[in-house]
Amino acid sequence: MAKSVHNDCLDKALQWIEDNALEYYICSAEPTTYTEASSTYALADVTISSADFTGPADVNIDASGTANHLALCGTASSPDLSGDTLMYVTQCASKAVTASTQETIAAWDIEIRDPQ
């Protein structure tokens, strides 16, 4: 059975993330909820805007640990959300970070593949 999806559907999914992600967390484990991303596993956080989706960001580290996941979250202030939401999680290369230092987060992308 063949599967297909129109490119506009995939593009709108990415636009939804850009429009609604207001917080960016560096985490010590894979979060499965907003609370895990924003507090339980959070090593650093950044308030973001669509302009922040263009490249590397310098981030102040709040807690020491091993960074291995990045999380994008939205809040009730997001245009299309009614509350705090874990929107997207990705794994990153493990790196030990130290509280009260600054790290540069390299650019990364989100890719949604066509169905196969």
d(CA 77, CA 80): 9
What is the SS3 assignment for 99?
coil
Question: For position 58, what pLDDT does the model report?
Answer: 86
Whole-number pLDDT of residue 114? 81
pLDDT at 52: 67
Sign of CA dihedral 54, 55, 58, 59: positive
For residue 38, what pLDDT is reported? 97
Which residues, other chains included, contact 40 with Cβ-Cβ below 8 Å and sequence gap of 6+?
29, 31
Render each residue's pLDDT in the chain as its tens digit; 116 residues. Answer: 688 888 899 889 989 998 999 999 999 999 999 999 999 999 999 888 765 666 667 899 999 999 999 999 999 999 999 999 999 999 999 999 999 999 988 888 888 888 87
